[in-house]
């Protein structure tokens, strides 16, 4: 089967996690760049990555990398790629792009020039002046960084955060990809309690349940490359059969609570769509009422930063209350994502370590307070990731 360079894009700060996911799929030889992980693979690798990567944004085939300081060089670089080997005559050629620190600043002009070059490349094979573009969508990404152009063919279609269980995306700011990354960073294991006392639409709890049961996040959605006629027959079904066979019947204890009645109901509905409603105990209560006599649990949460509440001082007061409630959970490990600049001050305790992550465009930090693990003493300053 033909191989090519596969590129898994991701949010800044998640590269090492995505690399770990790719290696787990069996692709050991890879290299990492800012916001992407690259490796060699075939169409089965494309299918597996789309189905299994929890923390990546999209899976691309990287078509070319070249320098361009003017539009002629951009045109020639795009034209030189054998697009006709990938795109059928009726392909809907959708060009997207971005430009950072480049002389070719106009993204719309870059897209227009690239589309013209694509058409010329297609004419080499099909010998026609115009193309109907009535067939499947092929999204071609033209990214320029410091005059280096990367051309990539998107195999995913909708972003990988679109698992299919959360249709109302306006209700929760935390993407599934970041929620899964938080679970990975916590090193939570299914034999421990996992709790989110700010569950909102349930994303962290649901992603935790899917990880605990080894459910491929893309198992119940479609991907752009599934509609491409030249992809070898049976590739996607083979990958899906593997994924279905990998699901574990794991007994989980996952607690999800929130004071907001509306989002609480949404969380339950989302869990049902994800197929993990039996693995999560939902409770309607504020964080001030969170209690547990169990030991060695793990809290992962994304409390308000002040933007949603419109008042950073109000968020600060919430953090004070969290500090009081969580101090009794001395054997628990806590992972709190916040974009509030004074989180630790209000919470009342410095974290053992923190990690910068981006929640969309918001710079946040994952504050980590490490408790004991079953059968093993562990202090706040121990390395945990």
* CATH number for position 357: 3.40.50.150
Nearby residues of 329 by Cβ (< 8 Å), 6 or more positions away: 292, 297, 299, 371
| Dist. CA 180–CA 52, nearest whole Å | 12
**Do 282 and 251 have their domain in common?**
yes
> Is the pLDDT score of 384 beyond 50?
no
**Do 229 and 315 have their domain in common?**
yes
**Do 145 and 242 have their domain in common?**
no
CB 384 within 8 A of CB 370: yes
**Do 240 and 101 have their domain in common?**
no
pLDDT at 331: 93
Q: Which of 150-164, 253-267, 302-316 has the highest mean pLDDT?
A: 150-164
pLDDT at 139: 97
Residue 186: both structure tokens together? 């916590």
Residue 385 lies in a domain: no
> Is the pLDDT score of 380 beyond 70?
no
Residue 379 lies in a domain: no
Residue 22 lies in a domain: yes
Distances from the Cα of 187 to the Cαs of 85, 301, 302, in angstroms?
43, 14, 17
**Do 190 and 290 have their domain in common?**
yes
Residue 234: both structure tokens together? 């049976």
**Do 192 and 238 have their domain in common?**
yes
Residue 374 lies in a domain: no
**Do 15 and 51 have their domain in common?**
yes
48-91 pLDDT, tens digit per residue, is 999 999 999 999 999 999 999 999 999 999 999 999 999 999 99
Residue 90 lies in a domain: yes
Per the listing, tokens 């997207």 go with: 96
Mean pLDDT, the chain, whole residue set? 92
**Do 28 and 51 have their domain in common?**
yes
**Do 232 and 144 have their domain in common?**
no
pLDDT at 263: 81
pLDDT at 168: 63
Higher pLDDT, 77 or 293: 77
Residue 163 lies in a domain: no
| Residue 101 burial (CB count, 10 A) | 10
* CATH number, position 127: 3.30.2130.30
Residue 237 lies in a domain: yes
14-47 pLDDT, tens digit per residue, is 999 999 999 999 999 999 999 999 999 999 999 9
Q: Report the number of distinct structural domains present in the chain.
A: 2
pLDDT at 37: 98
> Is the pLDDT score of 246 beyond 50?
yes
Q: What is the domain extent for residue 134?
A: 4-154
Residue 59 lies in a domain: yes
Determine the Cα angle at 52 with ends 339 and 356, to 5°: 20
146-172 pLDDT, tens digit per residue, is 999 999 999 999 999 999 998 865 545
């Amino acid at each position: 089967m033909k191989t090519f360079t596969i590129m898994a894009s991701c949010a800044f700060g998640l590269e090492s996690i995505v690399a770990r996911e790719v290696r787990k799929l069996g692709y050991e030889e890879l290299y990492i760049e800012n916001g992407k992980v690259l490796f060699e693979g075939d169409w089965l690798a494309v299918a597996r990555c789309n189905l299994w990567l929890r923390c990546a944004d999209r899976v691309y085939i990287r078509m070319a990398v070249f320098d361009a300081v003017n539009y002629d060089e951009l045109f020639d670089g795009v034209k030189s790629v054998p697009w006709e080997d990938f795109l059928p005559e009726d392909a809907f050629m959708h060009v997207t792009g971005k430009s950072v620190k480049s002389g070719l600043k106009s993204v719309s002009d870059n897209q227009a020039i690239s589309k013209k070059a694509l058409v010329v490349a297609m004419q080499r094979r099909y010998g026609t002046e115009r193309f109907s573009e009535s067939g499947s969508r092929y999204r071609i990404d033209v990214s320029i960084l410091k005059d280096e152009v990367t051309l990539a063919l998107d195999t995913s279609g909708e972003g990988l955060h679109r698992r299919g269980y959360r249709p109302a995306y306006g209700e929760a700011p935390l993407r599934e990809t970041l929620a899964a990354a938080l679970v990975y960073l916590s090193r939570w294991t299914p034999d421990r309690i996992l709790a989110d006392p700010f569950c909102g639409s349930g994303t962290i709890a649901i992603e935790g349940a899917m990880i605990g049961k080894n459910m491929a996040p893309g198992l119940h959605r479609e991907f752009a490359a599934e509609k491409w006629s030249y992809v070898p027959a049976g590739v996607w079904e083979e990958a899906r059969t593997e994924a279905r066979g990998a699901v574990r019947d794991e007994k989980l204890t996952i607690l999800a609570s929130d004071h907001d009645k509306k989002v609480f109901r949404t969380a339950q509905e989302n869990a049902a769509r994800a197929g993990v409603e039996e693995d999560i105990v939902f409770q309607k209560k504020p964080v001030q009422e969170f209690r547990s006599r169990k030991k060695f649990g793990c809290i992962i949460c994304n409390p308000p930063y002040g933007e949603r509440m419109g008042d950073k001082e109000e968020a600060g007061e919430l953090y004070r209350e969290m500090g009081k409630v969580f101090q009794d959970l001395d054997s628990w490990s806590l992972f709190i994502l916040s974009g509030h600049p004074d989180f630790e001050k209000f919470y009342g305790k410095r974290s053992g370590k923190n990690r910068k992550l981006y929640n969309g465009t918001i710079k946040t930090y994952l504050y980590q307070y490490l408790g004991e693990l079953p059968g093993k003493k562990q202090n706040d300053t121990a390395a945990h990731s």
